[in-house]
Amino acid sequence: MSALTGHGGDFREAARAALGDAQLRRNMGAATDTIRARRADAVAEVPDWEELREAGRRIKSHTLEHLDEYLVAFEAAFQAAGGTVHWARDAAEANRIVVGLVSARGATRVVKVKSLTTDEIGLNDALLTAGVAAVETDLAELIVQLAGETSSHILVPAIHKNRTEIRDLFRVSLDLPDLSDDPPELAEAARLFLRRRFLDAEIGISGANFAVAETGSLCVVESEGNGRMCTTLPAVLISLVGIEKLVPAWSDLEVFLQILSRSATGERMSPYTTIWTGVADDGPREVHVVLLDNGRSATLADEVGRAALRCIRCSACLNVCPVYSRTGGHAYESVYPGPIGAILTPQLRADEGAATSLPWASSLCGACYEVCPVKIDIPEILVHLRAAIVERGPRADPEGLVMRLVGWGMAGRRRYEWGQRLTRLGLRPFTRRGVIRRLPGPLRGWTSSRDLQPPPDRAFRDWWEHRR
């Protein structure tokens, strides 16, 4: 199992299977259309939206450039507030730390919120192996967990399911045979199920949207109140935080709390914004944070690719992506699907199959860049990663040989003109009624889903010479 809980498979194969699922396409299309429209309305209300985007970009870029300093500052501030800081180089080390903390306290049950980073390291499996039951408390995460599936969206993990499918799942998993598919009834069933888990939980495990270096504070933004329950009711709180989640100062939250909610859910502000700084009388008496690298330092070393670490996990890029909206998130085989996953996963998981297939999971239309609240130029990074893959690839691959031959032919005028003539002659036997419907052998892929126009009988260069 990958450190990112994916299988490192080929996106093209997974996407082909997903495209054959008509119900999945309907579910994805309806959901992404709705979220996209809500975001557009929320953003249109803000006259200085572009200035906010630029401010978010500057703050995150500055933080990444001085990340070593801000990490040390955060550690000092968090410990001064009564917390304990742990450092994890990779997924295995992070799992050992968290499982060790839970086991040392004899806990057998934990509740979780903001689980994306814990999904990245496969924490639930590690806890289960140690005899600890972890309950996801976000409604969509709970649905995915009960179904034994993986998330298909950063913000809405169960976006691939409709309410009828959720009703059928709850009827079996929660033993509610008479449950209807009315959304309030489904939400109430989940609420009653989770309430008992909140009250019984011995330890809370969270992620974080932001970590403030100046004050040692952690921030969780969510819409259901489960985050507030997880971070205040248990006596012990353990937070797993990617090192890229840092922002320098408390005042920086003003920018990010404005752009995150509008980009993510189309809300002016999320219903629940929970911020805690160390131990408090009305919260956990023991707090830990595990700062996770897991490939982030290597990504930071890439001057182009490091921009992916600016991501605040709003998922706006997923909702506008024509590829994601048709294949769904499971085709990416990573906890980070969609356009951001296509540039982040290959860098964090550089030694697996995802590194060579996901950068091609895009049409390069640029819609993702237009909606990104921190102005990550995803198409630029995709092209950068593709170029790196080609450079690392075998020098004698068929496609590479063909492209070098074409390059040689186009480098000289005479060779180019002869190439045009030979192409016209070579394609003439396959032209029927003015179109080419089928090509032979390896060229068949060009005509498997489209007809081609044959080259004209006379090239522009020949026509020009004749005209002169």
Residue 394: pLDDT above 70?
Answer: no
Q: pLDDT value at position 434?
A: 86
Domain boundary (294, 322, 351) is at 294
Q: pLDDT value at position 396?
A: 60
Residue 155: pLDDT above 60?
Answer: yes
Q: What pairs with residue 237 in β-bridges?
A: 204, 287
For residue 326, give the amino acid letter: R
Residue 173 and residue 193: Cα distance in Å, rounded?
11
Q: How many CB atoms lie within 10 A of CB 93?
A: 17
Q: pLDDT value at position 283?
A: 84
Residues 64 and 139 in one domain: yes
Tell me the CATH number at 159: 3.40.50.10420
Residues 358 and 426 in one domain: no
Residues 308 and 448 in one domain: no
Residues 240 and 91 in one domain: yes
The predicted-structure confidence for 91-136, as pLDDT tens digits, reads as follows 999 999 999 999 999 999 999 999 899 999 999 999 999 999 999 9
- How confident is residue 193, by pLDDT bands cut at 50, 70 and 90? very high
- 10 located within any domain: no
- 113 located within any domain: yes
- Residue 450 is encoded by which pair of tokens? 């489209």
Residue 222 and residue 408: Cα distance in Å, rounded?
56
Residues 387 and 414 in one domain: no
Residue 7: pLDDT above 50?
Answer: no
Please give the average per-residue pLDDT across 149-177, as a whole number: 93
Residues 205 and 137 in one domain: yes
Return mean pLDDT, the chain.
Answer: 92
Residues 199 and 290 in one domain: yes
- 61 located within any domain: yes
Residues 86 and 143 in one domain: yes
- 279 located within any domain: yes
Residues 256 and 370 in one domain: no
pLDDT above 70 covers a percentage of the chain that reads: 96
- 214 located within any domain: yes
Domain boundary (269, 294, 319) is at 294
Q: How would you class 391 by CB atoms within 10 Å of its CB: exposed for 0-12, middle for 13-18, buried for 19 or more?
A: exposed
Residue 395: pLDDT above 80?
Answer: no
- 11 located within any domain: no
Owning domain of residue 330: 298-392
**Lowest mean pLDDT segment, chosen from 181-195, 387-401, 417-431:** 387-401
Q: How would you class 334 by CB atoms within 10 Å of its CB: exposed for 0-12, middle for 13-18, buried for 19 or more?
A: buried
Q: pLDDT value at position 2?
A: 39
Higher-pLDDT residue of 460 and 5 is 460
Residues 52 and 177 in one domain: yes
The predicted-structure confidence for 327-345, as pLDDT tens digits, reads as follows 999 999 989 999 999 999 9
Residues 114 and 236 in one domain: yes
- 2 located within any domain: no
Residues 260 and 142 in one domain: yes
The predicted-structure confidence for 254-283, as pLDDT tens digits, reads as follows 999 999 999 999 999 999 999 999 998 888
Residue 51: pLDDT above 90?
Answer: yes
Domain boundary (232, 262, 294) is at 294
- pTM value? 0.85
The predicted-structure confidence for 292-320, as pLDDT tens digits, reads as follows 999 999 999 999 999 999 999 999 999 99
When divided into structural domains, the chain yields a total of 3
- How confident is residue 460, by pLDDT bands cut at 50, 70 and 90? confident
- How confident is residue 219, by pLDDT bands cut at 50, 70 and 90? very high
- 54 located within any domain: yes
Higher-pLDDT residue of 440 and 5 is 440
- How confident is residue 353, by pLDDT bands cut at 50, 70 and 90? low
Residue 6: pLDDT above 60?
Answer: no
The predicted-structure confidence for 60-95, as pLDDT tens digits, reads as follows 999 999 999 999 999 999 999 999 999 999 999 999
Residue 221 and residue 238: Cα distance in Å, rounded?
17
